[in-house]
Chains A and B, each alone.
Chain A
Amino acid sequence: MRYRIEDWLPRHAMTAALAALLAVVFALPLIAETAPQDVAFDETGAIAAPLGDMPGDPREGARIYGDKESGNCVACHQISGRTDTEFQGTIGPALDGVGDRWEEAQLRGIVADAKRTFPESMMPGFYKSTGYIRPGDEFTGKAGTEPLPPLLTAQQVEDVVAYLATLKE
């Protein structure tokens, strides 16, 4: 006697099961990182959990720090001894020794959205996608639609945080 699966499982249940399976398969790469709107900041503005599964790469973080097209942290901050970047900005504080002064969780929170740590900070939120006034479509001057892609990816934030953590006096 042949049993067909339809005989003991209603069709809609099968569809649902298939959908659930597909969702798991397709969501796998996404489960590995926390979306900007799902990031949990604590009351000090820190983010305890890494934003992704991959540990941050400090060398890549150092590159992003000086890269005009991604982090461009150097536009506002200074780090002594960085010989690869001319004309370091003076808007934000010098970052020498930040790895001593801050826990990794706080550094992660400051990079992701500094205003959660310093409400008056001028620093943009690098892992944020909603809540803007007249959000634009990158640098076109035209309207953008929220959620905007964050300025850095989850992995890039982790890389920058890993780099900052190496800055010890």
Chain B
Amino acid sequence: MSSIRMKTCAMTAAVAALFLSVPSHAETEPETTDPIVINGGELELPTVAPAPAHLEGVFDQIYSGWLFRDAATQAMQMDDFENPGMIFVDQGIDDWNTVEGKAGKSCASCHEDIESMKGVRAAMPKVNEAGDLWSMEDYINDCRTSRMQAEALEWDSDRMKNLTAAISVQSRGMPMDVAIDGLAEPYWEQGREMYYTRYGQLELACANCHEGHYGDWIRADHLSQGMTNGFPVYRLKQAALVSQHNRFRGCIRDTRGETFDMGSDEFRALELYVASRGNGLPVEGVSVRH
């Protein structure tokens, strides 16, 4: 009798221990969801939006990475004079207006004022007329080589990042709205597969940190949902503008994995899928992160 009771107690304890020790899948919601108020009220960028339909059952709401940064970093993005990324936007606009190449053209020769790029960033990456998925960098280089007859820019060069920043700012405040159906669907599926693949010796998928554990801390690093609506970002850690593919490369490297190249088809597909998780959040580019 007493031995049965003891056995039951031991089993109860064992079951309780099991529950207590199951790895947590904490999703810690942000404490506040204040909008990002730019230049004292000139523009307000929402930091939360209903999750897109394809994330049903995964997220109810999607959050800007801005909410997961400290107050000092947040403040830098709230004032265009404090935002170090804006210097590069100005340089990108200068480049926009500079004639280069054998055709004697600048970007402005065809597209006129850079404001004509409003809306472009919100739809990137996008399938082109030939059916290939192209990032903004690809569209820029296509214009440069075919229309301007100038050299293509390196994916991660300062000039390329300056131009993508200058073009992104034209869409600031517009909701991200990348197409994921039709011709985009196979690319989107490829990117989705990558997002859930556990790469490298640390066996980490994007989803491990940015879906299962946003709001948690890896040491002093506060995990966000990994949204890309703020790219290109000014990253304090690197004291430079950082492109999406550069960030993807860094994340896969940090899994002790063999990364993909910037400008690879794999990263274009991942860029589309990750962008689609943020459909509905406003373009923030150029954001400030650390």
Contact = CB atoms under 8 A, between A and B. Distances in A.
Contacts of A133: 197-200, 203, 257
A28 B23 CA distance: 39
A69 B20 CA distance: 29
Interface stretch (B4-12, B79-87, B173-181, B212-220): B212-220
A75 B218 CA distance: 5
Contacts, number: 100
B204 A93 contact: no
A132 B200 contact: yes
Contacts of A140: 253
A102 B217 contact: no
Interface in A46-100: 74-76, 86-93, 98
A143 B26 CA distance: 32
Interface in A98-138: 98, 101-102, 114-115, 118, 120-125, 132-138
A148 interface: yes
B202 interface: yes
Contacts of A144: 201, 256, 258
Contact of B255 (A86, A136, A142): A136
B203 A90 contact: no
A3 interface: no
B21 interface: yes
Interface string B192-234: 0000011111111000100011001111100000000000000
B145 interface: no
Contacts of B253: 136, 139-141
Given A135-B200, A148-B201, A118 B23 contact: yes
B123 to A, nearest CB: 30
A120 B213 CA distance: 13
The 10 closest A-B pairs by CB, nearest first: A141-B253, A87-B220, A143-B258, A141-B259, A101-B17, A134-B258, A124-B202, A136-B257, A90-B216, A122-B208
Main secondary structure, interface of B, reads: loop
Nearest to B222: A90
Contact of B203 (A74, A86, A125): A125
B259 A136 contact: yes
Contacts of A120: 23
Interface string B155-186: 00000000000000000000000000000000
Given A93-B21, A136-B257, A136-B259, A87 B217 contact: yes
A71 to B, nearest CB: 13
Given A122-B23, A125-B203, 13 more contacts: A91-B216, A91-B218, A93-B23, A101-B20, A102-B17, A102-B21, A124-B201, A124-B204, A133-B200, A134-B257, A136-B256, A141-B253, A148-B201
B219 A132 contact: no
